[in-house]
Amino acid sequence: MTPPDKAATGRRIRRFTPAEHWVHRTTSALMLICLVTAAMLYLPALAEIVGRRRLVVTVHEWAGIMLPVPVLAGLVSRAFRRDLKLLNRFAAYDWSWLRDAIRRRPESLRLAGKFNAGQKVYASFAAGAALVMIGTGLMMWFPNMVVVTLRTGATFVHDWLALAIGAVVIGHIWMAARDPEARLGMRTGFVTPQWVRDHHPKWQHDGAGDSEVKDKPRTPAA
Question: For the segment 14-58, what is each residue's pLDDT rounded down to a tens digit?
Answer: 999 999 999 999 999 999 999 999 998 888 788 778 778 889 899
pLDDT tier for residue 12 given thresholds of 50, 70 and 90: confident
Nearest C-alpha neighbor of 112 from the set 103, 101, 102, 123: 101
Question: For the segment 122-152, what is each residue's pLDDT rounded down to a tens digit?
Answer: 999 999 999 999 999 999 888 888 888 888 8
* Average pLDDT over every residue of 82-109: 86
Question: For the segment 169-207, what is each residue's pLDDT rounded down to a tens digit?
Answer: 999 999 888 889 988 888 889 998 888 888 888 887 776
Residue-level pLDDT at 76: 95
pLDDT at residue 161 is higher than 60: yes
Helix/strand/coil (H/E/C) assignment for every residue in the chain: CCCCCCCCCCCCEECCCHHHHHHHHHHHHHHHHHHHHHHHHHCHHHHHHHCCHHHHHHHHHHHHHCCHHHHHHHCCCHHHHHHHHHHCCCCHHHHHHHHHHHCCCCHHHCCCCCCCHHHHHHHHHHHHHHHHHHHHHHHHHCHHHCCHHHHHHHHHHHHHHHHHHHHHHHHHHHHHHCCHHHHHHHHHCEECHHHHHHHCHHHHHCCHHHHCCCCCCCCCCC
Question: For the segment 60-75, what is each residue's pLDDT rounded down to a tens digit?
Answer: 999 999 999 999 999 9
pLDDT tier for residue 222 given thresholds of 50, 70 and 90: very low
Q: Global pTM? A: 0.80
